[in-house]
Every structure is written in C-alpha cells, then in structure tokens.
Amino acid sequence: MFLDFVEGPLWVVACVVFIAGALWRIVGIVRFGRRPDISIPRASALVGAIKGQFLHFVPHGGFSFRTRYHLIAGYMFHLGLFVLLVYAAPHVLFLKENVVGFDWVALPRWGFILSAEFAFAGLILLWIRRISDPVMIKISDWDDHVASWLTFITMLTGCLALQESHDSLRAIHMLFVDLWLIYFPFSRLMHAVTFVFSRGYTGAFFGRRGVVP
C-alpha cells in the first residue's frame, strides 16, 4: 500500500515538482537577462563559455594541491553517485518501467558495491569537512546540511533496499527519493544544473577579453 503510494502518486508529484521547479528556477535565472556588452571583444565569448565549462572541472593555476581534499572527495562522491543512479540494476529496471521505456547494461553487484563505497566515502568526507573546516563552518547554512543528509539517507536506504528482501525497505528508499526530488529545485542541490550557467557566464565574460582564467 505504502509502496504503491511512494511509487505511484507521490512519485508523480515528486517528478512534477522536480521538473517544473527546476525549469522554473532556470527560466527565472535566465529571465533576469543581461545588458548587452558594447565593448569591442578581443575574442569569442562563445568559445570562452565552452572553455569555461571544462576549465573548472579541475583546479588549475597551482591550486590542485591546496584543494586536493575537495577535489578527491568531490569526484569520489559525484562519480560514484552518477554510476549508482544510472547503472544500478534496480534503477535501470525502474527507469525502464517508469520513465524511458527501455533498458541498458546494468552494473554487476561488485560494481554497485564499489561505486556505492566511493559515493558514501566522498559524501562523508565532504560533510566532515563541512563541520570541521573553519571556512566551511563559517559559510555553510542549513540548506547545505539538509541537502547532504537527505542525499546520504537516500543513498543509505537505497543500499538497504538493494536485496529487495522486503517491500518496506524499497518503499522507504522511494520515499526518500521522492523527498529528494521535491527538495531539489528549492535547494542548493540545483548546483547540478546551475554550474553550467555559472561557468558559462564567467567563461563568456572573460572569453571576450581573450583570456579564460
């Protein structure tokens, strides 16, 4: 009954809020617009915007060492989560049946365990940093912590549901998936989308000047 609810009406509501909310926020940002820049460009803003997308994937300018903690933990979490999300066998099946209508090659169990360990380790390391590093303590707000915990619990309940030994475990996981989707557009989780705009605007700004730092 509860599983039907979280995989049925609540799932639909969560998807609608997720998609509509994220679109609303993106359109809202873009609608602020920008005044046209009438200075004479030295180079292409578009090329700068594209370059900016790739340039910030890895810290450059000698910062790789100083930022190694974030770099390693960040990639562990994000890559692990991406692999889990897209290639975990239950996810492939669920997405086939509820979203896209086709399936693809899923991860073997050992692949799931490995990527889950990477994702958990990365997320925990980032959260430890958030509560222990003086800079991060200073600048973090409740949204950062809620987003971290909600993601953590969603991942954890997902692991508990992996064996599909009990419907209630699957239902609890789906409940948190729904909550995560609903929370997404209202929160800093949106950085998964807004980073493209942020890097793009900066890249374009500097691209006109002939340098993308």
Q: Cβ neighbours of residue 91 under 8 Å, at least 6 residues apart?
A: 84, 85, 106
Per CB under 8 A, does 70 bind other proteins? yes
Stretches 7-15, 107-115, 153-161, 188-196: which one binds other proteins (CB under 8 A)? 188-196
Taking the complex as a whole, how short is the minimal distance between the CB of residue 121 and other proteins, in angstroms?
17
Per CB under 8 A, does 52 bind other proteins? yes
Helix (H) or strand (E) holding 133: none
Angle at 80 between CA 22 and CA 124, to 5 degrees: 90
Per CB under 8 A, does 50 bind other proteins? no
State which of residues 6, 21, 123, 180 lies at the interface with other proteins (CB under 8 A). Answer: 21
Dihedral over Cα of 61, 66, 67, 72: its sign: positive
Closer residue to other proteins, CB minimum distance, 1 or 141: 141
Per CB under 8 A, does 66 bind other proteins? yes
Dihedral over Cα of 22, 58, 148, 140: its sign: negative
Alpha helices in 35-166 (DSSP H): 45-55, 68-87, 89-95, 109-132, 134-139, 142-160
104-123 positions binding other proteins, by CB under 8 A: none
Stretches 38-46, 82-90, 110-118, 169-177: which one binds other proteins (CB under 8 A)? 38-46
State which of residues 136, 153, 156, 179 lies at the interface with other proteins (CB under 8 A). Answer: 136
Taking the complex as a whole, how short is the minimal distance between the CB of residue 200 and other proteins, in angstroms?
8
Per CB under 8 A, does 158 bind other proteins? no
Q: How far apart are CA 209 and CA 79, in angstroms?
A: 33
Nearest to 2 by CA among 178, 149, 180: 178
Residue 127: Cβ within 10 Å count: 19
Per CB under 8 A, does 24 bind other proteins? yes
Taking the complex as a whole, how short is the minimal distance between the CB of residue 43 and other proteins, in angstroms?
8
Closer residue to other proteins, CB minimum distance, 79 or 140: 140
